[in-house]
């Protein structure tokens, strides 16, 4: 498998993060070998900021792919510690990827760990909760 840390680190330089200076990037690997990427895009009105995971997955679906097409999600954060998706992204991932899809998460030192969204959000909000 390609060196995703290097790809993610380079991709993170495209993030628009003038406020936090915290660059995040994501690459979604699909069954057909396609890689779809995303970066965080901040805004002075913080609530409209979009995280890399959501940018990436929005593109996956825009390109016509679906949940079943997603093999793995790679994530990079500018953290010295273990990085992790925010709560909003966890809920977003819960709905848009299979719960057993591996998420390989890197920090700025190249250290990584692998989890699933089921690990990160064991009780996600679902359409059944709306009934």
Catalytic residues: 53
- Please state, as a whole number, how many other Cβ atoms lie within 10 Å of the Cβ of residue 65: 18
Residue 30 CA to residue 103 CA, distance in Å, equals 13
Residue 59 token pair:
């593109």
Query: 12 and 25 in contact (C-beta within 8 Å)?
Result: yes
Residue 123 token pair:
């009780």
Residue that the structure tokens 């709306």 belong to: 130
Q: Of 24, 35, 43, 13, which is closest to residue 89 (Cα–Cα)?
A: 24
Q: How many CA atoms lie within 13 A of 79 on its CB side?
A: 15
């Amino acid at each position: 498998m390609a060196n995703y840390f290097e790809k993610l680190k380079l991709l993170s330089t495209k993030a628009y993060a003038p406020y936090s200076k915290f660059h995040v990037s994501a690459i979604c690997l699909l069954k057909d070998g396609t890689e779809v990427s995303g970066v965080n895009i901040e805004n002075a009105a913080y609530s409209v900021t979009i995280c890399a995971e959501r940018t990436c997955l929005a593109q996956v679906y825009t390109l016509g792919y679906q949940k079943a097409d997603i093999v793995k999600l790679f994530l990079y954060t500018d953290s010295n510690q273990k990085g992790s998706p925010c709560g909003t992204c966890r809920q977003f991932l819960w709905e848009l990827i299979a719960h057993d899809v591996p998420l390989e998460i890197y920090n700025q030192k190249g250290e990584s760990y692998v989890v699933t969204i089921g690990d990160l959000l064991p009780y996600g909000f679902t359409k059944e909760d709306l009934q």
